[in-house]
Chain A
Amino acid sequence: MHTRHAPAEAGTEASRSRGASPPTTVDPPRARRAGRRVSLRARLRRDWQLLAMVAPGFVILLVFSYVPILGNVIAFQDYNPYLGDNPLEAFLQSNWIGFGQFQLLFEDPAFWDAFRNTLAITAFQLVFFFPLPIVLAVALHNLLSSRLRGLIQTVVYLPHFFSWVLVVSFFVAMFGGAGLLAQTMREAGMEPWQIMTNPDTFIILVTAEAVWKDVGWGTIIFLAALSTIDQNLREAAAADGAGRWRRLWHITLPGLRPVIVLLLILRLGDALSVGFEQFLLQREAVGRQASEVLDTFVYHFSIATGNYGYGSAAGLFKAVIGLCLILAANKVAHMLGERGIYSRS
């Protein structure tokens, strides 16, 4: 393959094995570094094209992910966007105030409202949304006609590709004050229900929207897992007298277990994110009290009002808790003997 660079690589191999041969593992640093340098040049000559290919993505992530992640430090500043001519100058000239923003944040009842709303919505959706794709996938998998199954899949995947603006628009058209349901109820002489503007039932509304948008899409991964379950297991169970529910419980569900655990971990790790656009779009209609979640809180208390440091503090708080959650959830998965998201760090 890389015959042209064979000498250099052979040299590297030799020096490396020489360095590693003493069982005491105290390898001579100079020899190793020298070996590295030769190898580095050779490898650069061999792999520069791969590096060049990676470069555009590298730069985009650097600018739009890593710099903003580092930029989170403005949470420790009294950031004033009007200092200097650009955000960088403003950053350099703003005062450092330590944990002041966090102190304010933790005393802010609006923040705790958002926190509570977020957790409530996560918990509610874990119960009323999470299991639905599994049920739907099992129902689809049991369909005998593959043509019919394909048709249904085409239709139920579709809303996943709609924007939140569209999804909310659909719900407004169907259930809003001037929507189809209200229109029908008025014709029947009834007082139309307030569905889109009622803060008390908002949690049901957002869950219904999320289900409508993504329940079909959520089945894909379960359908794939279902198709890998050995049909012979089912047949053997049937021969042993297991009925359809016992087969479901003892064969189908255990076959889905790794996927379920994986998705549960991902969901728990993301417990503080329940969607952003969906809530921002409906904030006016139902009011802040019911619809504010952490992400919309960050937006409203930073960019919308100009208080950048405060919003950043809320964002950083959420990110740190979120990272802890995902690491913890993964740990739990390992303890349960599942693979989790990453096997080794």
Chain B
Amino acid sequence: MTTTIAGKPPRPRARRPVWEERPTPIGQAGKALLLGLLVLSVLFPLWVILVTSLSSRETIANAGGLVVIPRGIDTSAYEVIFAGGAVTRALWISTLVTVIGTVIALTVTVLAAYGLSRPRSLGYRWLLAYFLLPFLIYPPLVPKYLVVTGLGLKDTIWALILPPAISVFNLVVVRGFFQGIPQELLDSARIDGANDFRTLARIVLPLSRAVIAVVGLFYAVTYWNVWFDAVLFIDRNDMYPIQRVLQSYLLAGQAPKTSGGASGITMPPTEAIKMAVVVLTVAPIVAVYPFIQRHFVKGILIGAIKG
């Protein structure tokens, strides 16, 4: 039983069933190659970007741009960024949008999911159809633009927060999860005199941590990643979210502007600053996601299949 893939022996409990033939060396190698390359394709760019952002001017000049092998750590790029300026401001705006947006979106979604979780309630079929229909018909771009600007939301964070504050997919997932909660629990709460709001807060939510975490992550990622809505609705430079700034530095070829030039510090190379902006954009996702990832299957699939 030598089933080494990428050099790691299986744990003793995972056993190949007796009826299954031994894997062929070619098959094993192919599988290892496929999975290994895929993992590498994700980790390698992350590594290069991180290393370059922490490299000194000489290292970057020697490497001719991006740095693969680190030689010492130089945090001057981050120091310049955090000294204030466009990136710092954009990080604040994005954090604000993400935190406020996620709280609002989760509240709206959880309430609607609970309100739609009991068949035979008043208007149930109509309301359900009303909430599901936008899954088939996307809001068209031009009228949406006119509505948001007509409401005077332009150049405010609300233009980024409110339109995505309920996603039909997330609603279906949460609702499906709620419907999987044993009816007896809810009935007993009601017999004890709890109204629907209390039942939701005291019984349903504590049982739904997994799905709330997953859907919360989805919303947070949506808000952190908002780019096009900012192109549409945010004209003021000082209101740009981080993705907008990242785009202007990396894709539109604009030189990073920082209020830097602080006395005595020589400016770190542009390449390092650019990569530092990428790192700062990736960092919150990489930091939060692994803790919630284990809930994915439990959270989404139960909800999605029921719904």
A-to-B contact residues, CB < 8 Å: 1, 40, 43-44, 46-47, 49-54, 56-58, 60-61, 63-72, 74, 81, 86-88, 91, 135-136, 139-140, 142-148, 152-159, 161-166, 168-170, 172-174, 178-180, 183, 186-187, 212, 215-216, 220-221, 223-224, 231, 234-235, 238-239, 243-244, 276-277, 280-281, 284-285, 295, 298-299, 302-303, 308, 311-312, 315-316, 319, 323, 326
Across the interface, do A142 and B49 meet the contact criterion of CB distance under 8 Å? no
Q: Are A57 and B146 in contact (CB under 8 A)?
A: no
Q: A161-B289, A163-B225 are in contact. Are A54 and B8 (CB under 8 A)?
A: no
Closest residue of chain A to B293 (Cβ to Cβ) is A154
CA distance A162 to B17 in the complex (A): 39
**Chain A contacts for B3, CB-based, 8 A:** 144
Chain B residues, CB < 8 A from A44: 122
Shortest Cβ distance from residue B271 to the other chain A in the assembled complex, whole angstroms: 8
Please determine whether B31 and A145 come into contact, CB atoms closer than 8 angstroms.
no
Is B205 interfacial (CB 8 A cutoff)?
no
Any A CB within 8 A of the CB of B149:
yes
5 A–B contacts from the bound complex (CB under 8 Å): A68-B143, A136-B38, A179-B66, A231-B17, A311-B142
**A72 to B141 alpha-carbon distance, docked (Å):** 9
Q: Mark B102-131, 1 if CB is under 8 A from A, else 0.
A: 000001110110111010011100010011
CA distance A159 to B282 in the complex (A): 10
Taking CB atoms and an 8 Å cut-off, the chain B residues in 189-213 that contact chain A are 190-191, 195-197, 200
Contact among A53, A146, A231, A298 with B196 in the assembled complex (CB-CB below 8 Å): A53
A277 and B228 contact, CB distance less than 8 A? yes
* Cβ contacts under 8 Å, B262 to chain A: none
A146 to B281, CA, bound (A): 31
Q: Give the nearest-CB partner of B128 in chain A.
A: A54
Of the residues B64, B108, B122, B285, contact of A186 by C-beta under 8 Å: B64
Q: Is the CB of B107 within 8 A of A56?
A: yes
- B26 at the A interface (CB under 8 A): no
Say yes or no: A239 contacts B19, CB within 8 Å: yes
A337 to B247 CA separation, bound complex (whole angstroms)? 47
Task: State in angstroms the CA–CA spacing of A166 and B281 once bound together.
Answer: 8
Contacting B130 at CB < 8 Å: which of A58, A165, A280, A285? A58
A67 surroundings in chain B (CB, below 8 A): 143, 147
Residues of B within 8 A of A72 (CB): 140, 143
Q: Smallest CB-CB separation from B21: which chain A residue? A: A244
Expressed in whole angstroms, the Cα–Cα distance for A186 and B11 within the complex equals: 45
- Give A148 to B48 CA distance when docked, in angstroms: 24
| Contact yes or no, B282 A220, CB < 8 A | no
* Complex alpha-carbon distance, A231 and B18, angstroms: 12
Task: Name the B residues within 8 Å of A302 (CB-CB).
Answer: 141-142, 145
Report the minimum CB–CB distance from B235 to chain A (whole Å).
Answer: 12
Determine how close the nearest CB of chain A comes to the CB of B46; give it in whole angstroms: 8
* Nearest chain A residue, comparing its CB with the CB of B66: A180
Partner of A180, one of B65, B111, B146, B191: B65
Contact (Cβ within 8 A) A148 B5: yes
Contact code string B229-265 (vs A, CB < 8 Å = 1, else 0): 0011000000000010011001110000000000000
Residues of B within 8 A of A224 (CB): 297, 301
Question: Which of B65, B187, B195, B252 has the most CB atoms of chain A within a 10 A radius of its CB?
Answer: B65
Cβ of B71 under 8 Å from chain A: no
Mark contacts of B4-18 with chain A using CB atoms, 8 A cut-off: 1 yes-contact digit, 0 otherwise.
011011110011110
* Distance A215 CA – B289 CA, assembled complex (angstroms): 17
Interface of B toward A, CB cutoff 8 Å: 3, 5-6, 8-11, 14-17, 19-21, 31, 34-35, 38-39, 41-43, 45, 48-49, 63-66, 68, 107-109, 111-112, 114-116, 118, 121-123, 127, 130-131, 134, 136-151, 162-163, 165-166, 171, 187, 190-191, 195-197, 200, 217, 221, 224-225, 227-228, 231-232, 243, 246-247, 250-252, 275, 278, 281-282, 285-286, 289-290, 293, 296-297, 300-301
Name the residue of chain B whose CB is nearest to the CB of A179.
Answer: B66
The answer for the CA separation of A183 and B138 in the assembled complex, in Å, is: 42
With a CB–CB cut-off of 8 A, which chain A residues contact B227? Answer: 163-165, 277
- Cβ contact within 8 Å between A53 and B115: yes
| Cβ-defined contact, A68 with B112, below 8 A | no
Nearest B residue to A244 by beta-carbon distance?
A: B21
Report the Cα distance A178→B230, complex, angstroms.
Answer: 27
What are the residues of chain A within 8 A of B64 when measuring CB–CB? 183, 186-187
Q: Does A298 lie within 8 Å of B142, measured CB to CB?
A: yes
| Option from B8, B49, B118, B301 in Cβ contact (under 8 Å) with A145 | B8
A268 to chain B, nearest CB (A): 14
B147 contact from A63, A145, A154, A172, Cβ within 8 A: A63
Closest CB in chain B relative to A223 CB, distance in Å: 8
A220 touches B296 (CB 8 A): yes
Q: A50 to B19, alpha carbons, bound, how many Å?
A: 54
- Residue contact A49 to B34, C-beta cutoff 8 Å: no
Tell me whether B250 and A169 are in contact (CB under 8 A): yes
Going nearest first, the 5 A-B pairs with the smallest beta carbon separation are A71-B143, A163-B225, A57-B112, A53-B115, A54-B115
Q: How far is the CB of B276 from chain A (nearest CB, A)?
A: 12
Q: Is the CB of B14 within 8 A of A238?
A: no
- Distance (Å) between the CB of B167 and the closest chain A CB? 10
- A148 contacts across to B, CB distance below 8 A: 5-6, 8, 10
Q: Please, how many angstroms separate the alpha-carbon atoms of A334 and B225 in the complex? A: 37
The listed residue with most B CB atoms (<10 A of its CB), out of A147, A166, A238, is A166
Contacts of A299 in B (CB 8 A): 141
Minimum CB–CB distance from B124 to chain A (whole Å) comes to: 9
